Amino acid sequence: MSETLGSYTGGGSTGRQIRVPHTVVYVRVVAMLLLIVGLARACQILGIVPQGALTFADLTPAMRAGAATLLIVDLLAAVGLWIGAVWGPVMWALALAVEIAMYTIFSDIFGSYPLRVLVHTSLFLGFLALTFVKWRRTLD
């Protein structure tokens, strides 16, 4: 199986092809998801919510702290993953650790969201698997 997802033939007479690795595409999709989640949290903090939804003022102090923390970490992770910075996956791992702690260990305070934890963990494990495969190919 090829390491590239596809190719793009650029304009001009050179006809160069740009190959995009699977890992880059995967990380960019995750970056978009983290951006959407972060912006949704920002809307909640700013009070831009549908009628009847919880606003930031309605949350308990612990939930406010969690929402504010995850807002910052999710947006930083999204930017870091999109630009391919080394600290992007680190911020993503931090966001994952915070969410796992909030929704499992401290579920009596924050509530239990097993699907959210499962999806976030699965996405991160997928990233680790793709990174491992890429690393193994560099050894050959």
pLDDT at 127: 96
Mean per-residue pLDDT over the chain, rounded: 89
- Spell out the residues 6+ positions from residue 49 whose beta carbon is closer than 8 angstroms to its own: 43, 55
116 or 21: which leads in pLDDT: 116
Sign of the four-CA dihedral 117, 120, 124, 127: positive
**pLDDT (average), residues 84-106:** 96
Q: Is residue 81 part of a domain?
A: yes
Residue indicated by tokens 């969410």: 99
Measured between alpha carbons, how far is 91 from 83 in angstroms, rounded to an integer?
13
Domain range for 83: 22-139
Residue indicated by tokens 């991160």: 124
**pLDDT (average), residues 35-49:** 94
Could you tell me the two tokens for 3?
A: 């390491």
Looking at the structure of the chain, the number of domains it has is 1
Count Cβ atoms within 10 A of the Cβ of residue 115 and give its class: 0-12 exposed, 13-18 middle, 19 or more buried.
Answer: exposed
Q: Is the pLDDT reported for residue 10 higher than 70? A: no
Measured between alpha carbons, how far is 31 from 75 in angstroms, rounded to an integer?
9
Q: Is residue 106 part of a domain?
A: yes
Q: Is residue 86 part of a domain?
A: yes
**pLDDT (average), residues 87-115:** 95
Q: Is residue 3 part of a domain?
A: no
Quick one: pLDDT band at residue 19, thresholds 50, 70, 90?
A: confident
Q: Is residue 119 part of a domain?
A: yes
Q: Is residue 73 part of a domain?
A: yes
Q: Is residue 116 part of a domain?
A: yes
Q: Is the pLDDT reported for residue 62 higher than 80? A: yes
* pTM across the whole model: 0.83
Q: Is residue 105 part of a domain?
A: yes
